Amino acid sequence: MDEQLELENIQIFDFKIFIFKAISYWKWFLFFLCIAFYIVYYQNVRREFPYTLSASLTVQDDKNPLFTSNTSLIFNYGGISGKVQEVLLDLKSRKHHEKIVDSLDLYLTYLKQGRFYKKDMYNETPFKFVGFDGAFQIIGHSIKVSFLDENSFELSYDFDEVKRVSVQNFENKKIKSLLLSSPVFSKSYRIGEYINLPFFKGSIEKREGFAIIPKSEYYIQFNNFNNTVSGFVNSYSVRNSAKSPLLQIRLTNKNKSKIVDYLNTSVFILERDMLQRKNQYAINTISFIDTQLARVKRELNKKADSLNDFKRRNKIFDIGSESSLLISKIEGYNNQKEALNEEILSYDLLKNYLLSNNDYSNIQVPSVSGIKESNISASVAKIIQLSAEKSKLEYSVRDNVSVFDDLNRKINALKNVILENIASAKSNIEFQKQSINSKIYSSEREFSTIPKSQQKLQEIQREYLLSQSTYNLYLAKRGEADLIKASNVSDIVFIEPAKDTGQGRNAINLNTRYVFAFFAVLIPILLLSFIITFFDNKLNTPNDLERHSQIPLLGVVGQNETGSNLAVFNKPKSVIAEAFRTVRSSLQYMYRKHDLEGSKTVLITSSISGEGKTFCAINIASVFALSGKRTVLVGLDLRKPRIFNDFEINNEIGVVNYLIGLKSLTEIVQKTKTGNLDIITSGPIPPNPSELLIGETMDTLIKELKTKYDYIVLDTPPVGLVSDALELLDYADASLYVVRQDYTKKEMLTLVNEKHKKGEIKNISFLYNFYNQKGKYGYGYGYGYGYGYGYHDDLVKNKSLFDRIKSTFKR
């Protein structure tokens, strides 16, 4: 079954051929590997490694020690865990980083050209650029500053073929495009002189503590604000252990000074914002109380003026003892009324906060000690919880809008419930106030027994005392709020600021790039070898020939490097000459096996032109002649004659002349320098070569040749192109079918295989030509190589050292 599959040309992938074909490309592999290694090396030496520094802070639950049970303003922050989550969200928010970039002007970069790259000169330049407020500055392009001396410099740029540039206003962050009048610019300025270019406005000022070196060069570059912030956000990280208030912030950048300033400024801004949010309720309360104080003060002034005016007009300076008890009773009712007013004030403060704030994630909802309704306190706690949940989702979930809508609806619903509860509670208090007012009215009716002047005085005095009590209440509340605001401290404690302590650059093993480069070159080579091997349908080794045909292999002939077809004559001790001697021995064994006596014929053919058929025919005839046998080489390839050039004879007369009856055998035979070898060329090209070769005259020619020669070598046309060779097989005692390594295709053997299988062709063998034994397939076959005779060793010994090294590399 294996033989049948092989004969049907079913392709079997040969891994050994694949490996050796890949090895044959070792020169290309080394060439591209050197290029790849050079590219990696060039990138490695130009690589600027960044630094990574860190800072530590902790979040404390610093409750104000001035908060007591009697203090009306109390803040509920959700505990220490809620604060840590709030700080984490702040540190990771883009808004926080925008504040840092803005405060440090990090969108403005100072550069200096190094050996391989431009170095960031943050806080190291002897100058600084002071931009004009509100001006649009060019972004993404460097402006060169070349100092001429300590007080002057040259400003220049070269934007090549750029016609439009982008500019940005770093106050409102707007970006627009400007058309360049010229891509090249150069002008000298003085230190402090105003630079007024369409896209670059400001002045260059000296920095204290630095000396300007003449001929020194720097670059100023504005970068897109949003891109700058994104770069810092991506290289910024926050680490926090579970249930720990300790936070560590880290930043990776190519400039250590910039990292130190960025991290420390980050904590400073965080601390400032946290304290401001912590004081926000007190600030809102103070603003609300100030408004009420102004109103009550105006009323109190009016009452005081009215009381003094009445006493002055009626000359009354004291109240009689008969009304003291009644006044005391009325004042008790007024105190109850003021307590209710204080409770109403607490409700008003909470209501004012709910109506003036929409975001409860940063400022926790306060609770007021004067509020006695448990439903309101529970609803406030739920709003705090939903606000914290919303803050966490805003950081982790960005696209699910429905989640936020649901939370907002719940918060608004709770807020509406609280507002309704406040209104209900205030209505209840108003009812209580009406009851107290009725009691006050009843008590005041007892004043009817008192003289009218005393009654009027008492009425004015009561209004005055009421306004004064209200004013004192608001004043006390404002004092509490001021006290809380002044005594608040930040919950952020800066434990370990960022500091340059000589840290090295981040260590990255760049040698792995060489490994990737190695495989980047190796894989295409292997892939190419695999594709070539997989789709290769040529005979690459003698094994391929044996797998695709049952016709025996008579011999193997190596590559001809002599430059002539007369390899046996020119170098009789060469390896190729030995190969043809082995072919001669095999042919003689074949003749003896078939009991052939007398003159013997051997036919040489192939599939197509170029496989070395004529080369093999010439050298087989040569080895027979050199053995002392009378040999004739007959050129029967009438369409494409060739053998005459190698023997330096003409082709004017040949087989064609004999076959058409114009010449005799003696007239067409041509002698060679070797006495035992004669040549019969094909002669002029006839119009009907096939008819001439199958005629009776051809039989006569062969019979005449057998009477004169011991060996007749027939050089016939390729069977894959014409059928002439198949007709001539009847004249041959042995037929040799020449195939060439890496040239003959496997499907070309189909015709001769079919003929041999049917028995139409007998005594035929393959001759494997142009075989490179030490070539790219690595197979070592013993076909036709007479190493035991010592010829090859003699040739190697006679070679120069350079030729021997060259031969070694070729193998």
> 147: helix, coil or strand?
strand
Q: Specify whether 477 is located in the same domain as 523.
A: no
Q: Specify whether 28 is located in the same domain as 115.
A: no
- The Cα 426–Cα 433 span in angstroms is 10
Note the pLDDT of residue 790: 32
Q: Specify whether 147 is located in the same domain as 112.
A: yes
Note the pLDDT of residue 156: 94
For the stretch 641-653, pLDDT in tens is 888 888 888 888 9
Q: Specify whether 114 is located in the same domain as 30.
A: no
Quick one: which of 510, 511, 498 has its CA closest to 255? 498
The verdict on residue 54 lying in a domain is no
Note the pLDDT of residue 63: 54
**Looking at the whole model, is its pTM more than 0.85?**
no
Q: Specify whether 642 is located in the same domain as 711.
A: yes
> 631: helix, coil or strand?
strand
The verdict on residue 289 lying in a domain is yes
Q: Specify whether 289 is located in the same domain as 405.
A: yes
Q: Specify whether 557 is located in the same domain as 422.
A: no
Quick one: which of 172, 266, 270, 173 has its CA closest to 227? 173
Residue that terminates a domain, selected from 181, 208, 223: 223
* Beta-strand pair 184-190/195-197: unpaired
What domain range is 190 assigned to? 108-223
The verdict on residue 432 lying in a domain is yes
Residue that terminates a domain, selected from 471, 487, 503: 487
Note the pLDDT of residue 307: 64
Note the pLDDT of residue 74: 40
Q: Specify whether 581 is located in the same domain as 526.
A: no
Q: Specify whether 626 is located in the same domain as 674.
A: yes
Question: What total of structural domains would you count in the chain?
Answer: 4
- The one-character DSSP state at 745 is B
Q: Specify whether 299 is located in the same domain as 430.
A: yes
Note the pLDDT of residue 484: 64
- Whether the CB-CB separation of 111 and 120 falls below 8 Å is answered with yes
Q: Specify whether 527 is located in the same domain as 555.
A: no
The verdict on residue 462 lying in a domain is yes
For the stretch 753-787, pLDDT in tens is 888 888 878 889 999 998 876 544 444 444 433 33
State the CATH number of the domain containing residue 794: 3.40.50.300
Instruction: Give 429's contacts (C-beta < 8 A, 6+ positions apart).
Output: 340, 343, 344
CB-neighbour burial class of residue 233 (10 A; exposed 0-12, middle 13-18, buried 19+): middle
The verdict on residue 273 lying in a domain is no
- Count the helices and strands in the chain (H runs, E runs): 26, 26
Low-confidence ranges of the chain (pLDDT < 70): 1-14, 61-82, 242-243, 279-283, 300, 303, 307-308, 310-326, 358-370, 391-392, 394-401, 444-471, 474, 478, 480-489, 507-508, 720-725, 773-811
Q: Specify whether 683 is located in the same domain as 703.
A: yes
The verdict on residue 498 lying in a domain is no
The verdict on residue 324 lying in a domain is yes
The verdict on residue 25 lying in a domain is yes
Note the pLDDT of residue 377: 75
